[in-house]
Chains A and B, each alone.
Chain A
């Protein structure tokens, strides 16, 4: 009986052992083939699923690559290089399940990292970057390697196709009927995943890849009602975006009266549309942005000839938006415009010879104030139903009054209770070459609410502005300092001048919400921002 139990126990142990072996083999893979070449490049092989982690250390300078969940069977390997750049290369088991490659450097040099998949393995090559011609690299060899080892990746979804390569894209395109032809130069047999699956409801009909001499030709046929946009994201990635063709049209009409040129803009179905109008100088222009996916009916140019103040009119796609139209009127200097929407939803822009601004009193600094939210977008709703959009507009106007009465130029990114998208707010600042951009918001939370002020910036050039504004707000208002923070809010990320977004307080907090509802506190907030702006420009002037 004991013999039988022993026998069964042995089988049980064997089973457990087999399971463990199975599990272990899934967890660890091997790193091998460490090589150093005379051009200072280093190569090593690892399993393709391993994600190496690279980092640099100083004192002494070291480039370190960790291979997680890997083993190095000989446990340790050192290559003593000791040339002008590399002291030693070390490979070894770092932890039980991690291998570390350390390249000890004699100076701080950068490396180019390349990974090529071969079957189940990846070959990683590290090549020093020849910054100041200090390293003797065989350029030809590197170039040849690059040529040999890159791949083109093709990916698609319903409304876009990506072409991505590991070397710089070299391509030309041609549109024929409903087919876009892309020629990728010298990419023969480099395109992987050629069999692209297209669903019937996609914007694309078919994607074919073929070779012609040394080149790859990609044929993308698309549906009738589709517009294609080529977006070169960077040197390595091309995006082909499909959008549905515009259905509705926008008509423009110009009427000429004695002292007024009137431009009427209307949709054929009398549909309402979102828009924004602003002026630009040098040369003088009136810009009308329409935030809808309309096509513009061609306009009879004779209307322009008869115009008194409009010299020319252009229109095109509104940049950086999915849809939208920008109409630009080149106008005489010192004309002004009035806008009105009549009962048929026709936008009428009347241009007359009243002066826009006195050029002689042009201010030294122009500030764009951006009151957050507006129109159908109320922003956060605070205690007693107060709306963020109302408070930001009121504070902005108090700030504008203070600035203009002290000789600053002010442009309001939103001047009334209308909904302005984020990109047009950015455009107003960028196109007017504003000196600074100040976006005003109120903070809010869903649950129990904190209080305090936060100032956000995004770019290094905005640090000083954030510092001066925040200091004044915190020193002058009875609130809590929640700090200056970095965050990529759209408006401060995309404006090209120093820009900040200020959260002037929590409207969901009972105390702060009540304060923010009062004119006197709104004036105090505006005063603090004004003092910060004044200090900022005083400081800049002294530099």
Chain B
């Protein structure tokens, strides 16, 4: 029995050493960017992937490659932005500069303008979700382009941003609000002009819904029978009322609530958001502790679900 005990102890010890020496694979929430069927905007979806981890976040090139592989696959109505004719030839992460360098390889073909923009934007948006990557520099191999790739791209340059002629003015202040795809299945961050730092105006623009040039591609998440008003606001927190005037289905109220929540989170001013849904029913979000956007458009991966 004594020898059995020793062998068992030794076994556990070896197991311990083995586990400790392995890379830590941890469940990591990633946000992948797909496109809509009209090639108008990027749709972010969150999912969980098992990735290597250092300092709790994705920093290994292997992880980034895995994410790219996932990004290549369309998932139903979420369409991949990476054309089959383009190969990701090389990927290098310069951690000191927060810079990711990607070499795209074609077969001496030209990428069509719209395909190219969605390819680049989807990669930039997906990878700059990680705090260690601020910029992405692209190199093209056997691909010609009209775009200037001499400088790296930041996240801002690939936002869902387009103006109708009457919206565009000099000295615009921009903010991101969350409207819905035309089929109302996914939230879409859309960058729109607002009065600078004005949360009242922000909520007004959200509530008003997509204007004429955006109306054909987006839906308003705030039902017309929902009362949406700011009850109190200070530098750190906001209390906002999202109340149903009629007996609307819960899902309709919930959609409005999420659109308001995501928009306020993106606004970046508040540490605490309280949403009053009915008398006495208040949902509170402490943004210091949680990031509600980590569950936006949540999907499970069809393949390679880890």
How far, in Å, is A236 (CB) from chain B's closest CB? 13
Q: Would you call B16 and A19 a contact (CB within 8 A)?
A: yes
Nearest A residue (CB) for B151: A488
Q: Would you call A485 and B213 a contact (CB within 8 A)?
A: no
Nearest B residue (CB) for A457: B168
A267 to B130, CA, bound (A): 53
Residue B3 lies at the interface, judged by CB distance under 8 Å to chain A: no
A441-B146 contact in complex given A49-B55, A463-B169, C-beta closer than 8 Å: yes
Nearest B residue (CB) for A490: B148
Segment at the interface with A among B155-163, B220-228, B275-283: B155-163
A489-B148 contact in complex given A12-B12, A26-B24, A445-B112, C-beta closer than 8 Å: yes
Residue A301 lies at the interface, judged by CB distance under 8 Å to chain B: no
Segment at the interface with B among A124-132, A194-202, A466-474: A466-474
Q: Among residues 467 to 487 in chain A, which have CB atoms less than 8 Å away from a CB atom of chain B?
A: 467-468, 470-471, 474, 480-487
Mostly, the B contact residues are loop
Q: Would you call A446 and B55 a contact (CB within 8 A)?
A: no
Q: Among residues 1 to 42 in chain B, which have CB atoms less than 8 Å away from a CB atom of chain A?
A: 1, 5, 8-9, 12-13, 15-16, 19-20, 24, 37-40
Other-chain contact of B8, A8, A51, A443 (Cβ < 8 Å): A8
Residue B235 lies at the interface, judged by CB distance under 8 Å to chain A: yes
Which residues does chain A contribute within 8 Å of B168, judged by CB atoms? 463, 466-467, 484
Residue A27 lies at the interface, judged by CB distance under 8 Å to chain B: yes
Return the CB mask of A503-539 against B: 1 if under 8 Å, else 0: 1001010000000000000000000000000000000
A485-B165 contact in complex given A95-B288, A446-B115, A490-B146, C-beta closer than 8 Å: no
Q: Would you call B165 and A470 a contact (CB within 8 A)?
A: yes
Mostly, the A contact residues are mixed
Residue A493 lies at the interface, judged by CB distance under 8 Å to chain B: yes
Which residues does chain A contribute within 8 Å of B132, judged by CB atoms? 51
Q: Would you call A15 and B12 a contact (CB within 8 A)?
A: yes
A11-B12 contact in complex given A29-B55, A69-B57, A95-B288, C-beta closer than 8 Å: yes
Which residues does chain A contribute within 8 Å of B95, judged by CB atoms? 49, 51
Segment at the interface with B among A54-62, A292-300, A309-317, A344-352: A54-62
Q: Would you call A444 and B16 a contact (CB within 8 A)?
A: no
Q: Would you call A486 and B161 a contact (CB within 8 A)?
A: yes
Which residues does chain B contribute within 8 Å of A8, judged by CB atoms? 5, 8
Which residues does chain B contribute within 8 Å of A444, judged by CB atoms? 112-115
Return the CB mask of A92-120 against B: 1 if under 8 Å, else 0: 00111100000000000000000000000
Q: Would you call B289 and A95 a contact (CB within 8 A)?
A: yes
Residue A230 lies at the interface, judged by CB distance under 8 Å to chain B: no
Other-chain contact of A97, B56, B98, B166 (Cβ < 8 Å): B56
Other-chain contact of B197, A58, A60, A488, A489 (Cβ < 8 Å): A58
Residue A450 lies at the interface, judged by CB distance under 8 Å to chain B: yes
Q: Among residues 1 to 58 in chain A, which have CB atoms less than 8 Å away from a CB atom of chain B?
A: 4, 7-8, 11-12, 15, 18-19, 22-23, 26-29, 49-51, 53, 55, 57-58
Q: Would you call B110 and A23 a contact (CB within 8 A)?
A: no
Which residues does chain A contribute within 8 Å of B268, judged by CB atoms? 55, 57
Chain A, interface size category, equals 35 or more
How far, in Å, is B159 (CB) from chain A's closest CB? 9
Other-chain contact of A467, B39, B110, B165 (Cβ < 8 Å): B165
Which residues does chain A contribute within 8 Å of B166, judged by CB atoms? 471
How far, in Å, is A303 (CB) from chain B's closest CB? 39
Residue B77 lies at the interface, judged by CB distance under 8 Å to chain A: no
Q: Among residues 349 to 383 in chain A, which have CB atoms less than 8 Å away from a CB atom of chain B?
A: 372, 377, 379-380
B interface residues (Cβ-Cβ under 8 A, vs A): 1, 5, 8-9, 12-13, 15-16, 19-20, 24, 37-40, 53-57, 83, 85, 95, 98, 110, 112-115, 117, 131-132, 144, 146-148, 151, 157, 161-166, 168-170, 197, 212-213, 216, 235, 268-269, 288-289
Sample of 22 A–B contacts (CB below 8 Å): A8-B8, A15-B13, A18-B16, A27-B53, A58-B197, A68-B55, A372-B146, A444-B112, A446-B112, A446-B115, A450-B40, A463-B168, A464-B170, A467-B168, A468-B165, A471-B166, A483-B213, A484-B164, A487-B147, A490-B147, A491-B146, A494-B148
Closest 8 CB pairs of A and B: A483-B162, A471-B165, A444-B112, A69-B55, A490-B148, A481-B213, A15-B16, A484-B163
A interface residues (Cβ-Cβ under 8 A, vs B): 4, 7-8, 11-12, 15, 18-19, 22-23, 26-29, 49-51, 53, 55, 57-60, 68-69, 94-97, 372, 377, 379-380, 422, 441, 443-446, 448, 450, 454, 460, 463-464, 466-468, 470-471, 474, 480-491, 493-494, 501, 503, 506, 508
